[in-house]
Structure 1
């Protein structure tokens, strides 16, 4: 009898069965599966709550406002569908062109003053080695004031009688100015108020960006004999190009919605020289009680600002 005859006859079958047999994966513990479902359920509940809040308080008002632009609405009678009549009346209103022209003028002046001033302030503050935190707080203080308080304070500054600015001019024997009563000076005066009240936030953004610039670049520029102006032009500006572009677009979007300054300080005068898009929209809705025309005006403004928002999103996506 050979050794082959002594092997068990079932061995090959056993090996084949072992190859086919697979160890089944252990089922998930009931407690772990329940916990996973519960965690996902809570996440979906929070997500659903956020979607509902956005839908009710953000998306619905936008859609509702767009629809009101095609209706005659005064909330005293049922709304009537009028199609494009509101837009026709809007474009025929002479104040529509005046408001956009004044808004564009305000935005341009705000870019000249309000865009350069925070950047230069941040560059100067960044050079200080002592008291930097105190100076930052000082620059940011106007942002913490309520807008109405700021407007009332500056109304006293601009007062043609006992106002601070005219008193200073009289001390230096300079002619006093009609800051808010002159058509030529009123818009400039509003821009100065807006710049002073809002530059703190932008200044802090620029300071954070300046802190992220590698010091080796400035050291190399100094070794090459670069002056302060050359370091600013060849090092600081290129390194902050993206931040400057983003703040520029955000400032355009913000200044085109200016309302508080002309509403409190000038009321749109003198001679409609400071009436802006938002102020005219307010008049349509709450002075003339024509909410359909006001909604049409808001839709036009929404489209214009949406174009700038698309540019902003494109820039941020390119950077990312």
Structure 2
């Protein structure tokens, strides 16, 4: 104990920081889910009433459905696009450093700046995308005002804003694949597609599994895109779980109901993570 006193002192500081600013708010949030909490009156224990009210709210199912749809679209676009970009950048011999910086540049922009930039892209009048459609004689689109296009439009924003970090992770993983394996496969006559399938993907399997898990956890908590760009519209087509939670807490001033929803989201993501890690561990 005496020999490690300094180490324990540093650990105590870290544990206190986590305790006050991370663990305590989590536990406090769980407790609020079983209380009626508003600005007008002190907290009152209501048991499971908040959860019953959640299930009675028609927007509850809508929010979960929209969130699942956003996650599915984000996996189709946002999971594949960074990998393909990383493969292309890894094959380049000239200008790769500049292109890597360009790919990572959106990550360095403040999220609100990104949202305002894309709001102009999607503007139904002078927006960049409709101007581009007009150049090829295609009709303009109501990107954020259409129930069919709004969610896809949000996914495109999220993918563009966040793919830089994942691309760099994939580039680092690609750099760890032994070059002699590619040379042997090339001598055996393997095409680029077969080298990618039989050499690259097996060596990146662990990284791909982790990024898939992190992407699901991140996209299930999508908030800023629908909050800034659509406000949940049109006709609640882009209301997500966190946006509904925000409304409960800061529009309706019902913090107990918001905490109950956050607890459910925590449980769902925790169960998904446990099952996913269990299945991938079994596969290994």
Answer yes or no: same fold by TM over 0.5: yes
Matched ranges for 1:304-319 at <5 A:
304-311=268-275
In structure 2, C-alpha distance between the alignment counterparts of 1:48 and 1:127, rounded to whole Å: 47
Residues 102 and 275, structure 1, Cα contact 8 Å, conserved in 2? yes
Aligned partner of 1:95 in structure 2 is 59
In structure 2, C-alpha distance between the alignment counterparts of 1:78 and 1:183, rounded to whole Å: 41
SS in structure 1 of the partner of residue 102 of structure 2: helix
Residues 186 and 274, structure 1, Cα contact 8 Å, conserved in 2? yes
Matched, 1:174 2:138: yes
Residue 312 of structure 1 deviates from its aligned partner by 6.1
In structure 2, C-alpha distance between the alignment counterparts of 1:42 and 1:205, rounded to whole Å: 35
Residue 308 of structure 1 deviates from its aligned partner by 3.2
Residues 72 and 82, structure 1, Cα contact 8 Å, conserved in 2? yes
Residue 111 of structure 1 deviates from its aligned partner by 0.3
In structure 1, C-alpha distance between the alignment counterparts of 2:216 and 2:234, rounded to whole Å: 24
SS in structure 2 of the partner of residue 142 of structure 1: helix
In structure 1, C-alpha distance between the alignment counterparts of 2:140 and 2:275, rounded to whole Å: 43
Residue 209 of structure 1 deviates from its aligned partner by 0.5
Aligned partner of 1:208 in structure 2 is 172
Matched, 1:254 2:218: yes
Matched, 1:295 2:259: yes
Aligned partner of 1:239 in structure 2 is 203
Residues 258 and 276, structure 1, Cα contact 8 Å, conserved in 2? yes
> Can you give the 5+ residue segments of structure 2 that lack an aligned partner in the other structure?
none
Aligned partner of 1:58 in structure 2 is 22
Aligned partner of 1:280 in structure 2 is 244
Matched, 1:80 2:48: no
SS in structure 2 of the partner of residue 219 of structure 1: helix
Q: How many residues align?
A: 284
SS in structure 2 of the partner of residue 76 of structure 1: coil
In structure 1, C-alpha distance between the alignment counterparts of 2:143 and 2:193, rounded to whole Å: 35
Matched, 1:43 2:19: no
CA 1:137–1:164 in 2, change beyond 3 Å: closer, same or farther? Answer: same
Aligned partner of 2:106 in structure 1 is 142
Which structure has more relative contact order (CA 8 Å, sep 6+)? It is: 2
Residue 50 of structure 1 deviates from its aligned partner by 1.4
SS in structure 1 of the partner of residue 210 of structure 2: helix
* Cα RMSD for the two superposed structures: 1.7
Residues 246 and 312, structure 1, Cα contact 8 Å, conserved in 2? no
Matched, 1:157 2:134: no
Deviations 1:109-136 (A, max 9, x none): 0000000100000000000012211111
Aligned partner of 2:94 in structure 1 is 130
- Larger Cα-atom Rg: 1
What TM-score, normalized by structure 2, do the two folds share?
0.96
CA 1:314–1:200 in 2, change beyond 3 Å: closer, same or farther? Answer: same
Residue 313 of structure 1 deviates from its aligned partner by 5.5
In structure 2, C-alpha distance between the alignment counterparts of 1:188 and 1:312, rounded to whole Å: 26
SS in structure 2 of the partner of residue 184 of structure 1: coil
In structure 1, C-alpha distance between the alignment counterparts of 2:223 and 2:92, rounded to whole Å: 36
In structure 2, C-alpha distance between the alignment counterparts of 1:247 and 1:311, rounded to whole Å: 16
SS in structure 2 of the partner of residue 268 of structure 1: coil
In structure 2, C-alpha distance between the alignment counterparts of 1:317 and 1:52, rounded to whole Å: 33
Residue 54 of structure 1 deviates from its aligned partner by 1.2
Mean alpha-carbon deviation: is it higher for 39-48 or for 124-133? 39-48
> Can you give the 5+ residue segments of structure 1 that lack an aligned partner in the other structure?
1-35
